[in-house]
């Protein structure tokens, strides 16, 4: 789950980014409208957390440009001061957006972001199942049969992408794009290492599902004990 965070206040931006990363999101933090548009031109995002008062352009202009480009239904959480919101509330699309007033609690931000992600057309809709595996996208918890599976953040993200694909191949590049923001320090085999750990945990939990490597292409879940 990859989020574009647009906030010009450095301290707030860093605090929100750290919090969302801790909660399992890949986050690209940017500080102005131009940077937001540049990031969105090269990456696909599941949601945007957007400050309206930006130094170079109004946040609503950023949102209109993103929606008019390659992110038409982008779930959006607007972060703003009350006076700024009242002038612009007419720009909100009730289906895709929510807003949160500064100052706010980080847990509330997280809850609101998950709420916009759960709306129709957004990704965070469901509990996914494949074989004996389950993944609850809202709580980010995984299970094998009735037992919960203890996963680290990136392992959970890999499982989430694979289980959503329902046994279809997930291309490695797409998986990396969903998992890592631009600023994340990603070594060449970070994804392979995460997949290896996830495989060991699935085996240890006695799952009937394994992760199959399609060499040079990507990964997929398959039912059966595997190679
Ligand atoms: Ca601002």
Residues 15, 112, single domain; the answer is yes
Per the model's pLDDT, the better-predicted residue between 139 and 193 turns out to be 193
The range of the structural domain enclosing residue 104 comes to: 2-117
As a whole number, mean pLDDT of residues 78-90 equals: 67
Average pLDDT, the chain: 86
What pLDDT score was predicted for residue 175? 87
Which position has the token pair 């494949």? 130
CA dist., res. 126 & res. 12, Å (int): 30
What pLDDT score was predicted for residue 82? 66
Closest by CA to 37, choosing from 14, 70, 77, 81, is 70
What pLDDT score was predicted for residue 24? 85
28 CA → ligand 1 middle, Å: 17
Residues 163, 104, single domain; the answer is no
The number of distinct structural domains making up the chain is 2
98 CA → ligand 1 middle, Å: 17
Picking from 73, 94, 117, the residue at the C-terminal end of a domain is: 117
CATH number at residue 187: 1.10.10.10
Q: Is 105 helix (H, G, I), strand (E, B) or coil?
A: coil
What pLDDT score was predicted for residue 222? 95
Torsion of CA 101, 139, 181, 91, to 10 degrees: -30
pLDDT in tens, 42-78: 888 989 999 988 999 988 889 888 888 777 778 899 8
Residues 166, 206, single domain; the answer is yes
215 CA → ligand 1 middle, Å: 46
207 CA → ligand 1 middle, Å: 48
What pLDDT score was predicted for residue 93? 58
Ion ligand 1 residue ranges (Cβ < 5 Å):
8, 51, 53
What pLDDT score was predicted for residue 64? 86
Q: Exposed (0-12), middle (13-18) or buried (19+): which is 106, by Cβ within 10 Å?
A: middle
CATH number at residue 30: 3.40.50.2300
DSSP state for residue 24 in the 8-state scheme: T
pLDDT in tens, 146-171: 899 999 988 999 999 999 888 899 99
161 CA → ligand 1 middle, Å: 33
26 CA → ligand 1 middle, Å: 22
Residues 97, 14, single domain; the answer is yes
* pLDDT at position 30 over 80: yes
104 — pLDDT class (breaks 50, 70, 90):
confident
DSSP state for residue 82 in the 8-state scheme: H
Picking from 92, 117, 142, the residue at the C-terminal end of a domain is: 117
91 — pLDDT class (breaks 50, 70, 90):
low
Picking from 82, 117, 152, the residue at the C-terminal end of a domain is: 117
What pLDDT score was predicted for residue 52? 87
């Amino acid at each position: 789950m990859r989020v574009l965070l647009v906030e010009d206040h450095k301290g707030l931006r860093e605090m929100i980014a750290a919090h969302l990363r801790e909660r399992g999101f890949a986050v690209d933090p940017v500080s102005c409208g131009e940077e937001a548009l540049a990031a969105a031109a090269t990456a696909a995002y599941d949601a945007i957390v957007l400050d309206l008062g930006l130094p170079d352009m109004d946040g609503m202009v950023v949102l209109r440009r993103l929606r008019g480009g390659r992110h038409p239904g982008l779930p959006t959480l607007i972060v703003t001061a009350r006076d700024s919101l009242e002038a612009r509330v007419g720009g909100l699309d009730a289906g895709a957006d929510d807003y949160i007033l500064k100052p706010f609690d980080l847990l509330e931000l997280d809850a609101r972001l998950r709420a916009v992600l759960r709306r129709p057309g957004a990704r965070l809709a469901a509990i996914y199942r494949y074989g004996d595996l389950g993944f609850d996208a809202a709580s980010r918890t995984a299970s094998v049969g009735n037992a919960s599976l203890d996963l680290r953040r990136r392992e959970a993200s890999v499982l989430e992408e694979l289980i959503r694909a329902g046994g279809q191949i997930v291309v490695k590049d797409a998986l990396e794009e969903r998992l890592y923001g631009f600023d994340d320090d990603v070594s060449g085999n970070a994804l392979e290492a995460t997949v290896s750990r996830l495989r060991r945990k699935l085996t240890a939990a006695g799952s009937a599902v394994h992760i199959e490597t399609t060499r040079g292409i990507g990964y997929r879940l398959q039912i059966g004990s595997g190679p």
